Amino acid sequence: MKVLKKILIVLAILIAIPLIIALFLKKDYAVEREIAINKPKQEVFDYVKYLKNQDNYSKWAMMDPDMKKTYRGTDGTVGFVSAWDSEQKDVGAGEQEIKKITEGERIDFELRFIRPFESTEAAYMVTESASEDQTTVKWGFNGHMNYPMNLMMLFMDFEEMISNDLDTGLMRLKGILESRQTVADGSMEFLLGYFNRTTGDLEKSVAGLSEAQLKFKPAPDKWSVSQCLEHIVATEKMLFDMAKKELAKPAQPELKGEVKTSDAELIAAMTDRSEKHKTSKELEGAGLYTDPQTALNDLAAARKPVLDYIQNASLEDLRNHVSDYPTGKADGYQSLLFIAAHCARHTLQIDEVKGDANFPKN
């Protein structure tokens, strides 16, 4: 018995020593890395404020190509949540939420880890002008490990590990942004680019959705993804026909000064989902799409004549055609821009449907 007692005492001491050591170890750590990107500050900020864009450069987002991703809310605004779920143990499950946006300056995030362990951490991204065409991006992460788990800090350098991951992500971000051609707002290149971007965003949003997911309605008075897609395709042709009809009329350059809404304000108003608008009965959609690719093919067919028209149009001529709309006077350029912005608006609506708690998992 004495030998057993001694063994138990030794074991107790061996267990107690690390627990005592953990009492004196730090529980919090902070990491911040930065990089210079040769792009104007606003362009950089407008890219990093969208959580979905992290899928393109964050090392963590790329660790498991098969991870399931879901979204809630409107990306680029406070309250938007991007969630992940992976079968890989080192990826696990969790979600990231935009908690605060200081326009043009900083985005604050909250990371909520569910698996392999539960914790809530803060992260942020800051953009600072180094010059007119160069931006310093800082990506920071603040972590906490409760006692006695903080003992792991003796054996693993979490700050170095996270620093390396942030550096990898920032280098990818730099490569993405610096490879993009800077296009002036209001140019024909911007108009074409906006159409291509809204097409790409819609493709990403509906890729891989099942028939059950396409048909799901969050409530009886809410649209399904399938209905949203039908509405986008149907409205695309209708809006283009309206625009062509106005552009076929004689130009009115003397009325250009009466156009009070800027291109940026038009896009912002169209993509503001806090304002709801009721459409006509024939454009509501019946939910006929059972697979996303058919809808995307129909959109491509509807968009082709629009893109062909833009590629052969004159910027000056578009701006010289001023027409009356329910929201006020707009020029021909804006009537075409409106079409792409309409697609962007309902892509956001699709993301809202997918973010519903009852949205089918497959």
Q: Decide if 334 contacts 267 (C-beta within 8 A).
A: no
Give the amino acid at 283.
L
- pLDDT at residue number 156: 54
- pLDDT at residue number 336: 95
* Preceding amide of 116 cis, omega within 30: yes
121 pairs with which residues across the strands?
A: 111
CA atoms within 13 A on the CB side of 290: 0
CA atoms within 13 A on the CB side of 103: 1
Sheet holding 93-102, edge to edge: 28-37, 134-144, 119-131, 106-115, 93-102, 81-85, 68-72
Determine the Cα–Cα distance for residues 221 and 218; give it in Å rounded to an integer: 8
Walk me through the domains of the chain, giving residue ranges and CATH numbers. Answer: 24-179 (3.30.530.20), 188-354 (1.20.120.450)
Question: Can you tell me whether residue 154 is helix, strand or coil?
Answer: helix
Q: What is the DSSP letter of 220?
A: T
Sequence-ordered list of residues with C-beta below 8 angstroms from that of 289, at least 6 positions apart, any chain: 214, 226, 229, 230, 295
138 pairs with which residues across the strands?
A: 34, 126
The pTM of the full predicted model, rounded to 2 decimals, is 0.55
Q: For residue 192, what is the enclosing H or E element?
A: helix 188-206
For 286-313, write each residue's pLDDT tens digit: 778 899 999 999 999 999 999 999 988 9
- pLDDT at residue number 150: 44
The residues of the chain scoring below 70 in pLDDT are 1-28, 143-159, 180-184, 275-277, 279-283, 285
- Percent of the chain having pLDDT more than 70? 84
How far, rounded to the nearest angstrom, does the alpha carbon of residue 42 sit from its chain's CA centroid? 16
Q: How far is CA 224 from CA 37, 70, 284, 345, in A?
A: 40, 16, 11, 15
The beta-strand segments (E) located in 195-327 are: 322-325
